[in-house]
Chains A and B, each alone.
Chain A
Amino acid sequence: MLAQITYAIPFLIPGLLVTLEVSVITVVIATAIGVLLGVGLIYGPAPLRWVIRGFSDIIRGIPILVLLFFVYYGLPLTGLNLQPFAAAVLGLIVFKVAQVIENVRGAIGSIPKGQMDAAKSIGLPFPERLAYVIAPQALRRFLPPWLNGVTDAVKGSALISLLGVGDLMFDIQKVVGRTYSPLTLYCFGAFLYFLINYALSLGSRALERRFSYIRD
């Protein structure tokens, strides 16, 4: 069994790197967009709020796989023909943006309303209220669930092998095809995914502990 694993490792490394690459790109872009939309969902004018609310509800109600197939097989019919990698990243970003929107909503929503009142009363304009009063408080409530949610992006990325992207899952299947040892290799693959995600949840827990000393 150990021999099977040591044989497989060199073939899995490129896929592992692709999985990490896709995850990082997805999380970075989705976080930037999701934070903006999340702020829009809370403080934006009503029509903007409705659009963002609708987007988030719809996306969170769709399985990631459906989202990925829609982007890869559906969008070409509208003239947008994406390469597998781009389609995969786009699908995952859309999925992740919806999650980040909810992380932001939860974080800002948990701040007592009096904080905004107090920030207004000393004469801070909206951007400054956000930057100096709301954001620092929201950040510590945002980070733990957000980091926890990054694991969803990593796990969800296993599905992009179905679009033919050479990620970790894709490479595992290739090696399984050659060696006929699915039990060992899927276990080892699961272990690799677990390692990445366990590190993330340890980080999330550490952040929670770090911020817990601030009471309201």
Chain B
Amino acid sequence: MAPFSPTATPPLLRIADLRKSYGQTRVLHGVDLDVARGEVVTIIGPSGSGKTTLLRCVNFLETYDQGSIAIDGREVGYRDGAARKLRSERDLARMRAETGMVFQSFNLFPHLTAAQNIMLGLTKVRRMGSAEARAKALHWLARVGLADKADRLPSELSGGQQQRVGIARAVAMEPKILLLDEITSALDPELVGEVLDVVLSLAADGMTMLVVTHEIGFARDASHRIVFMADGVVNAEGPPAEIFGPDQTSERLRGFLARFSRAHRL
């Protein structure tokens, strides 16, 4: 992917010194990460390094203990200031609508058709009329190649199709940033491609994305920048050429990539 040239504007997403523990287990130990508007940033790293937790914090599906996450300068989850007062339920919901999330296990609403899955947020959160919402849902279903599946229940769709509906559901809300959490991990290998193609086309449109993935090849081809997380901190980051290049200085990252390529016969 073409190198990303950030503009002078402040980053869309700014994560500073983010810390979180589950009881005695520290998951995030001070993560700093900025994502510029239109940038595609991919997070890789071993299991348990805090990748998914970080993503869930950005959508405030998890609370965090210290540090800050701001989207467009607005603090996520807590009201600005040192007091760290939790936002009201309505306020949290409004903030969450600014970020779209796609899940590893799809999490489509099983009682709603593909189109209804997409329309729910449009009608109840964006307050669209149902005809307008349906038109928009159909537009996005067509965009992910599922125009003919609009009135199917998720149980009637393949995994790859379900995940494409999941992407359409998130993107139709026109979020400022799209969060992708290992979205191909639950898919049969032959279905991975159709999902990643959709993600690539969104990236080409300039959608800002923060991606957690085990698809190293996809990370290399689709990201402007790769972040390597280990033990709850950002261990290394840079453009793909640098991350995978021979001059990479992080021992931890080189070890991870070496183990990874052995496991995947790359």
Contacts and interface: CB of A to CB of B under 8 A. Distances in A.
Interface string B164-184: 000001100100000000000
The CB with the most chain A CB atoms within 10 A, among B60, B90, B92, B110, is that of: B110
9 contacts: A112-B107, A114-B105, A118-B101, A120-B96, A123-B173, A125-B93, A214-B110, A214-B111, A216-B110
Interface in A126-142: 126, 128, 132-133, 136-137
Interface of B: 56, 59-61, 89-90, 92-94, 96-101, 103, 105-111, 120-121, 124-125, 153, 155, 169-170, 173
Nearest to B91: A125
Nearest to A111: B110
A124 B127 CA distance: 11
Nearest to B96: A123
Contacts of A132: 120, 124
Interface in A108-126: 112, 114-115, 117-126
Interface residues of A, number: 21
B125 A118 contact: no
Interface of A: 112, 114-115, 117-126, 128, 132-133, 136-137, 214-216
A215 B108 CA distance: 12
Given A120-B96, A121-B61, A123-B97, A133 B89 contact: no
A118 B109 contact: yes
Closest 4 CB pairs of A and B: A123-B97, A122-B121, A118-B107, A114-B107
A120 B92 CA distance: 9
Contact of A123 (B105, B108, B125, B155): B125
B187 to A, nearest CB: 16
Nearest to B126: A123
A121 B125 contact: no
B111 A121 contact: no
B103 A117 contact: yes
A120 B76 CA distance: 14
A114 B100 CA distance: 14
B101 A121 contact: yes
Given A122-B97, A125-B90, A215 B125 contact: no
Given A114-B105, A133-B109, 15 more contacts: A112-B105, A115-B109, A117-B101, A119-B109, A120-B96, A121-B99, A121-B170, A122-B97, A122-B169, A125-B89, A126-B93, A132-B120, A137-B109, A214-B153, A215-B155
A126 B111 CA distance: 18
